[in-house]
Amino acid sequence: MKIPAQGRKKEAIYQELKKRKEADFDYKKGRIFTSIYDAGEEAQEVIYDAYKMFLTENVVDPTLFPSLRNMENEVVSMCADLLHGDKHTSGTLTSGGTESCLLAVKTAKSHARKTNPNIKAEIIIPYTIHFAFLKACEYFDVRAVITPVTGDYKADTKAIEDAITANTVLIVASAPSYAYGSVDPIEEIGQIALKHKILFHVDGCIGAFIMAFNNKAGYKMPPFDFSVPGVTSISMDLHKYAYAAKGCSVLLHKNSEIRKSQYFISTDWTGYNAINPTILSTKPGGPIAGAWTAFQYFGEAGYIKIAQDTMLATEKIIEGIKALDGFYILGDPLTPLVAFAHKKYDVFQIADELKSRGWFVTSQLSSKVAPTNLHITVTIAHRGVEQEFLHALQEALDAVKKGYTLKKLKDDATTIIIKKLVNNMSADTLAKISDKLGFSGGETPEKLALVSRLLDELPNEVTQPMLLDFMSDFYTLEE
Ligand SMILES: *Cc1c(COP(=O)(O)O)cnc(C)c1O
């Protein structure tokens, strides 16, 4: 494809953009239970207008735009206050949770290298940790030491202590974990970190903000922040439960000395002295202004109300799910992150049935500790649609029940055959199968249940190349 030879008129471009948007999932009615945080049109407008005011600015040189530097310092300070930091707590706004997690690992590695330049860095991560930490390990050549979780999906603290070696540079825990919404025993892990003098990062990317406001709203959360001795850094995404514009998270450190290990500095290249706090060099001003504006717009009272309403919606949905025949909740969610499974029926088919009724929930594969299940991230947008969702869930279950016996037989047979076949299959045959499943040509198959089930059954060696092909095709221009 080529850039249009001549520029087009704004009206024509915008019209086309609107048309293109029609293909997208309609999130405005609270029917999506992942990745979207929508506090309503007025909030969006206020925040996005602020974002637009700083679209061209670039924070690569913090001396040029004191407005943005000050807003960043203020947002960091408000976050530190929220998480019981003190006057030493320091932080940085990043482009999102992943960047905050990557930087937490980078900081720990650089920090350890100050005293031990040749250390073969390792980090200890419980099994339920977000994949951003596996990504950090791959990107930064750090060894991931994965420790088990207990029956309630919380980090096994003894296993963490046993896993410590002379190369351990960081322990990580979740408050809460994304997939099952479990909050790790932060206090106990903090004691271990103190005893062994190791940095301890709390991944509060998704939950720290709402947990802090749950406390203010009267829902008592287990201790998870800087009030816990031993915690040395916390990541908290503002583009999730703070309802800021996308592209904003904060990484807080116990003090500015540790934060210096996060910075990259080069005085040896041909240009200016480069000192980058984050992975990005050119850093947009929009997300900073957006986060600052979100804090001003909602205020503490607004966020408390949002937390209350979100928890009410969550409780209503949890109770409703439990009341539906055969469904059960994984663990004991204290925050709006909920995973649920069904005793008998295939949850992936239930997800498909929900989708055909306009509702989107996330299918989660089985793990060492849980069966296949469905994940919902409940937000303020779901307050008021709980009953509608539960009704759709009941309908979806009924629909799956109907075609069940035959379908189950077929699926079981498929599973057995596939397990048998897969070991002897050539790459060519596998490519054909993935093609049949819709894993090529850049199209997502309409019904995902069979695909999810296969992905759950097949070994990684088979699924990973398939998924990479799929993504590569997905990002190839259609003919
Ligand atoms: C969302 C999330 C992340 C990653 O954040 P992104 O903003 O998606 O990059 C990290 N940890 C947890 C627990 C999360 O839920």
Look at residue 475 in the predicted model and tell me its pLDDT.
87
Whether residue 273 has pLDDT greater than 80: yes
Report the C-alpha gap between 204 and 225 in whole angstroms: 9
Residue 91 Cα, ligand 1 centroid: separation in angstroms? 17
Look at residue 363 in the predicted model and tell me its pLDDT.
96
- Averaged over 195-220, what is the pLDDT? 98
Report the C-alpha gap between 337 and 347 in whole angstroms: 17
Look at residue 439 in the predicted model and tell me its pLDDT.
58
| Cβ contacts of 478 within 8 Å, gap of 6 or more | 442
Which position has the token pair 């048309």? 19
Whether residue 445 has pLDDT greater than 90: no
- Averaged over 257-276, what is the pLDDT? 95
Q: Nearest Cα to 312, choosing from 386, 231, 398, 205?
A: 386
204 CB near ligand 1 (under 6 Å): no
Q: What is the DSSP letter of 360?
A: B
> Which atom in ligand 1 lies closest to the alpha carbon of residue 98?
9
| Cβ contacts of 424 within 8 Å, gap of 6 or more | none
pLDDT tens digits, residue range 123-155? 999 999 999 999 999 999 999 999 999 999 999
Look at residue 458 in the predicted model and tell me its pLDDT.
82
Whether residue 371 has pLDDT greater than 80: yes
Whether residue 333 has pLDDT greater than 90: yes
What is the residue with the minimal CA distance to atom 8 of ligand 1? 97
Helix, strand, or coil here: 293?
helix
Which position has the token pair 């019981």? 84
**10-19, 309-318, 367-376, 414-423: segment of lowest average pLDDT:** 414-423
What is the residue with the minimal CA distance to atom 3 of ligand 1? 97
Residue 214 Cα, ligand 1 centroid: separation in angstroms? 19
Helix, strand, or coil here: 118?
coil
pLDDT band at 441 (very low <50, low <70, confident <90, very high): low
The amino acid sitting at 356 is: S
Rg of the chain, C-alpha, whole Å = 24
| Cβ contacts of 55 within 8 Å, gap of 6 or more | 284, 285, 286
Among 94, 98, 379, the mutation site with the greatest number of ligand 1 atoms within 8 A of its Cβ is: 98
**163-167, 205-209, 276-280, 450-454: segment of lowest average pLDDT:** 450-454
Q: Nearest Cα to 237, choosing from 104, 141, 110, 330?
A: 104
Report the C-alpha gap between 273 and 283 in whole angstroms: 16
Do 285 and 57 touch, CB atoms closer than 8 A? yes
Report the C-alpha gap between 240 and 36 in whole angstroms: 8
181 CB near ligand 1 (under 6 Å): no
Residue 98 Cα, ligand 1 centroid: separation in angstroms? 6
pLDDT tens digits, residue range 82-131? 999 999 999 999 999 999 999 999 999 999 999 999 999 999 999 999 99
Whether residue 443 has pLDDT greater than 60: no
- Averaged over 255-275, what is the pLDDT? 95
Do 79 and 251 touch, CB atoms closer than 8 A? no
| Cβ contacts of 256 within 8 Å, gap of 6 or more | 88, 90
Do 100 and 249 touch, CB atoms closer than 8 A? yes
Domains and CATH numbers, the chain: 50-296 (3.40.640.10), 406-474 (no CATH)
Look at residue 30 in the predicted model and tell me its pLDDT.
84
| Cβ contacts of 273 within 8 Å, gap of 6 or more | 265, 266, 267
Among 130, 209, 243, the mutation site with the greatest number of ligand 1 atoms within 8 A of its Cβ is: 130
3-state DSSP of 136-184? HHHHHCCEEEEECECCCCCECHHHHHHHCCCCEEEEEEECCCCCCCCCC
What are 385's two structure tokens? 């649609």
205 CB near ligand 1 (under 6 Å): yes
Do 208 and 224 touch, CB atoms closer than 8 A? yes
Look at residue 477 in the predicted model and tell me its pLDDT.
84
Residue 244 Cα, ligand 1 centroid: separation in angstroms? 15
Whether residue 162 has pLDDT greater than 90: yes
Whether residue 414 has pLDDT greater than 90: no
- The percent of residues above 90 in pLDDT, for the chain, comes to 82
Report the C-alpha gap between 398 and 239 in whole angstroms: 36
In Å, how far are 70, 77, 213, 235, 342 from 92, measured between CA atoms?
A: 12, 10, 21, 10, 42
Look at residue 453 in the predicted model and tell me its pLDDT.
81
pLDDT band at 69 (very low <50, low <70, confident <90, very high): very high
Q: In which element (H, E) is residue 15 found?
A: helix 10-21
Beta bridge partners of 202: 173, 234
Report the C-alpha gap between 314 and 307 in whole angstroms: 10
What are 466's two structure tokens? 């398939």
Whether residue 429 has pLDDT greater than 90: no
- Dihedral sign for Cα 205, 206, 211, 216, please: positive
> Which atom in ligand 1 lies closest to the alpha carbon of residue 237?
7
> Which atom in ligand 1 lies closest to the alpha carbon of residue 337?
15
Look at residue 326 in the predicted model and tell me its pLDDT.
97
Helix, strand, or coil here: 377?
strand
Whether residue 426 has pLDDT greater than 70: no
pLDDT band at 408 (very low <50, low <70, confident <90, very high): low
